[in-house]
Structure 1
């Protein structure tokens, strides 16, 4: 499928930009990249009640933002922990992938969403610190489901956040003998090295301008910052593609059609199926990596959010 029309109409902004890495370091090119990603007239997400909290973690307090649906529907609400992306080094609770996604899922699924501001891999912070923060957040939610009005707990994330969600699911399986109702992985990054792309993905990548691609050196840098001294031999909790995946919860994987990391999502989905996990893999057509930063006026984005919401709604009143 070709690029979504709203993406195709902006491609001229990226003509002549030699790479994403150079665009990020060149002010003039960065402005073009920002213009490509900006949608100033986008319809804002629903307004919902939020609460900021700091929850206990092994490395100090972990900030979370809790998003609540209508207070009149207090009981039987699905719970969802959400981890934003950002190459382990970037991102926060206010980025659209975090905030807009949470608000949409409250609206579409009637869910209580806990967005986790895990520590980033900067200034010497490496694995397992970000993952420890996520595990602590899940454990806190498990201990406070009644106070939060949750009847079930699912978890998920995008890109690096998907890695952390899967890593947390593996640790909680092994350490607590616990698993979430559902695991949601959006354009996930699960491998130490990107797998060979499928023929379909090779064709999609050939259509992308250089500034849309994730070059190998950026991928390696992302891994190095997160893994630190373990960068050549990480445990499965850090790179879930290396783990024994048996016993993970039913999993939804949403891959972007035009995305180098689609190779990781497709290979991880195959590994989940081989391990006997209930897996649904969906190719989100016409969009790039990071599509959850886009407004729901993009039909593929709205469809992706509806798929996640459907999973969450199915867990209502299950506990």
Structure 2
């Protein structure tokens, strides 16, 4: 009955799809291997519920965990983990927690995250078609999530627009070779590192988008799950950071 550190897991699916079932196996494996609770957020989906609804739901779940009233959850030891659109929401939630002077997350795991609404990186051209996620598909997802184009210059919508990333939680940023999102994820990892945030950045060679949630199909998925689980276990073994107040 000892309260455990807890991962807030945010599934991918272009903000329009995905659910608790699509990522259940990966979440269970992370829980077993890391000895953390994994709380997966069943956030509202677009286009019926565009920005900021998905983000609001993630932050509401985190707030409920943080207040210490959930049995088995150590509300002082929370982390964020998400893939694709979930990685986007994790990145934004991590920065907003800092800006709102909330207790910091201990870790942010960003698995091939959506980072930049501009969609102009080289990997968009290199991997536009033929590898599952397409450039056309991403344009559709952005239209569903942020239908007002003017919103896309805001850092809560496009994390690449953030100007101050100092003081954010240690990050694990995973990208894959054949993915339109590859370059923006790697660029964000570099932005975090330049801001002094501890970062582990990994590009998985030969893989396509969405592989992380399919451990029954890909050795690389099982390896990535083991890597992020080991990092969480290491984080749990460290003393809590001191408050800046």
Q: TM-score range by the shorter chain?
A: 0.7 to 0.9
Match of 2:11 in 1: 84
CA distance in 1, matches of 2:117, 2:189: 16
CA distance in 2, matches of 1:161, 1:131: 10
- The correspondence for 2:115, drawn from 180, 190, 195, is 190
Offset of residue 256 of structure 1: 1.3
Offset of residue 218 of structure 1: 2.3
1:133-152 deviation per Cα after TM superposition (whole angstroms, max 9, x unaligned): 11111111111377224362
2:216 pairs with 1:292: no
Match of 2:72 in 1: 148
Offset of residue 213 of structure 1: 5.3
With normalisation by structure 1, the TM-score equals 0.68
1:48-127 mapped onto 2 (5 Å cutoff): 74-75=1-2, 77-95=4-22, 98-123=23-48, 125-127=49-51
2:88 pairs with 1:163: yes
Residues 106 and 112 in structure 1, CA contact (< 8 A), matched pair in contact too: yes
CA distance in 2, matches of 1:268, 1:144: 32
User: SS where residue 295 of structure 1 aligns?
Assistant: coil
Match of 2:231 in 1: 311
Offset of residue 283 of structure 1: 1.2
Match of 1:27 in 2: none
Q: Where does the alignment leave 5 or more consecutive residues of structure 1 unmatched?
A: 1-73
Task: Return closer, same or farther for 1:237/1:135 CA change in 2, 3 Å cut-off.
Answer: same
Match of 2:190 in 1: 270
Residues 213 and 260 in structure 1, CA contact (< 8 A), matched pair in contact too: no
Structure number, greater radius of gyration: 1
1:266-304 deviation per Cα after TM superposition (whole angstroms, max 9, x unaligned): 111111111211111011232210012322563221211
Task: Return closer, same or farther for 1:94/1:278 CA change in 2, 3 Å cut-off.
Answer: same
2:150 pairs with 1:225: no
Task: Return closer, same or farther for 1:281/1:175 CA change in 2, 3 Å cut-off.
Answer: same
User: SS where residue 176 of structure 1 aligns?
Assistant: coil
Offset of residue 197 of structure 1: 2.6
With normalisation by structure 2, the TM-score equals 0.88
1:145-203 deviation per Cα after TM superposition (whole angstroms, max 9, x unaligned): 772243621111000000001111111111134321000000111001234337xx98x
Q: Where does the alignment leave 5 or more consecutive residues of structure 2 unmatched?
A: 241-245
Residues 9 and 38 in structure 2, CA contact (< 8 A), matched pair in contact too: yes
CA distance in 2, matches of 1:213, 1:316: 35
**Paired residue total:** 237
Match of 2:135 in 1: 216
Task: Return closer, same or farther for 1:146/1:85 CA change in 2, 3 Å cut-off.
Answer: closer
Task: Return closer, same or farther for 1:152/1:296 CA change in 2, 3 Å cut-off.
Answer: farther
Match of 2:243 in 1: none
2:54 pairs with 1:134: no
